[in-house]
């Protein structure tokens, strides 16, 4: 399969490269695309040097799958051109997620949605993916009525430069210097702040609304009520979340534990004796979402509480995109319908 990565020099782009190699994706040709800033730089992939190209109109000739991870405006500028050139685009940005003609896919939850693509498949928001794989096994047994979630989001969500900035800030603070914040609006080292995406007039930020709207779309359950508080914390690349679930009937905690332990993409991590539960350092570099502290909500007879950590760059972004690509191959879904965009 001929694959191109748009945003190959970024945090997610680099992880996509690792995963293509690690999972032995059946590659014929691999093209690495970025902006003019990185054009000409070289990346070693499986012992071979690949020169990064600036994305251009001709970039998508002979591309079967475009993995796009270069931000919303870049996806808006190029995705439809790639489809018109015959590629299926797996887009990691928020540009097309809520478009009715674009499936929003987490392979452990709604693989069937991928079959309806018109050339573009959207990869959901990272916090939404991590929560989704953890709570869907419960939703399948008893529909979730309401979700109250708080997130603890790592610097990686804002890209490779934000991760670098976090490390520099930590060093500066330990050296007694004033930390500089250029990528994120405030210092993230030894600090935390509510997610900096734009706020609406109800006081919710875009990141929080993604959790609301994308969860409903992925679960195909527009009736689920979701409220979220998203916070950036001084962690490099794994997000954590506290999730409160409300059902119509009480949910047996032991059953919830068994369902989560058996679910794909999830690992139950609970040692109540030692007070050992999922932590970002354990989730970093791991594929499964770590889930633990599953317990009855003492404030509501039909409520459950749980805690999770997941690698934001892996399952929260690159791994989910590669799983979608694998699904396309497995189900023979690489054809772009004639009705798809023409540019």
Catalytic amino acids?
A: 126, 239
Q: At what angle do helices 253-262 and 126-141 cross, to 10 degrees?
A: 120
Interacting positions 20-59 with ligand A2P (CB under 6 A) = 34-35, 37-38, 55
Regarding 88 and contact with ligand A2P (CB under 6 A), the answer is no
Of the chain, the end-to-end C-alpha distance in Å amounts to 24
Which of 74/127 has CB closer to ligand A2P? 74
| Binds ligand A2P (CB under 6 A): choice among 3, 10, 239, 323 | 10
- The stretch near ligand A2P (CB under 6 A) out of 8-16, 169-177, 256-264, 329-337 is 8-16
d(CA 327, CA 129): 17
Regarding 68 and contact with ligand A2P (CB under 6 A), the answer is no
Name the minimum Å distance from CB 242 to ligand A2P: 26
Q: For the purposes of burial, counting CB atoms within 10 Å of the CB of 84, is it exposed (0-12), middle (13-18) or buried (19 or more)?
A: middle
Name the minimum Å distance from CB 33 to ligand A2P: 7
Tokens of 235: 């962690």
Regarding 65 and contact with ligand A2P (CB under 6 A), the answer is no
Regarding 154 and contact with ligand A2P (CB under 6 A), the answer is no
DSSP 145-180: EEEEEEEEE-GGGG-HHHHHHHHHHHHHHHTTPPPP
Which of 217/232 has CB closer to ligand A2P? 232
Regarding 147 and contact with ligand A2P (CB under 6 A), the answer is no
Regarding 288 and contact with ligand A2P (CB under 6 A), the answer is no
* Alpha-helical regions (H) of the chain: 11-22, 72-84, 126-141, 160-174, 206-219, 253-262, 280-283, 319-330
Contacts to ligand A2P by CB under 6 A: 7-11, 13, 34-35, 37-38, 55, 70-71, 74, 159-161
């Amino acid at each position: 399969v001929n694959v191109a990565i748009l945003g190959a020099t970024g945090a997610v782009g680099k992880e996509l490269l690792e995963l293509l190699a690690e999972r032995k994706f059946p590659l014929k040709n691999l093209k690495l695309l970025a902006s003019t800033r990185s054009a000409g730089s070289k990346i070693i992939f499986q012992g071979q040097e690949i020169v990064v190209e600036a994305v251009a109109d001709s970039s998508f000739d002979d591309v079967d799958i475009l993995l796009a991870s270069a931000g919303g405006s870049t996806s808006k500028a190029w995705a439809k051109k790639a489809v018109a050139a015959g590629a299926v685009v797996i887009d990691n940005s928020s540009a097309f997620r809520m478009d009715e003609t674009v499936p929003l896919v987490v392979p452990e939850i709604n693989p069937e949605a991928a079959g309806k693509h018109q050339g573009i498949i959207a990869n959901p928001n990272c916090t939404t993916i991590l929560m989704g794989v953890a709570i869907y096994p419960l939703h399948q047994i008893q529909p979730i009525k309401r979700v109250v979630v708080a997130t603890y989001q790592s610097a990686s969500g804002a890209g490779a430069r934000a991760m670098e900035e976090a490390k520099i800030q930590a060093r500066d603070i330990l050296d007694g210097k004033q930390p500089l914040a250029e990528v994120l609006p405030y210092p993230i080292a030894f600090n935390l702040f509510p997610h900096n995406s734009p706020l609406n007039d109800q006081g919710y930020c875009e990141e929080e609304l993604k959790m609301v709207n994308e969860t409903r779309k992925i679960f195909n359950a527009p009736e689920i009520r979701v409220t979220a508080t998203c916070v950036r914390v001084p962690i490099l690349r794994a997000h954590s979340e506290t999730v409160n679930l409300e059902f119509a009937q009480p949910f047996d905690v032991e059953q919830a534990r068994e369902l989560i332990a058996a679910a794909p993409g999830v690992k139950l991590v609970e040692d109540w004796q030692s007070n050992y539960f999922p932590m970002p350092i354990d989730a970093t570099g791991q594929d499964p979402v770590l889930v633990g502290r599953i317990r009855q909500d003492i404030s509501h007879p039909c409520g459950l509480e749980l805690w999770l950590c997941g690698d934001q760059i892996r399952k929260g972004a690159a791994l989910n995109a590669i799983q979608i690509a694998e699904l396309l191959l497995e189900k023979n879904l690489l054809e772009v319908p004639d009705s798809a965009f023409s540019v």
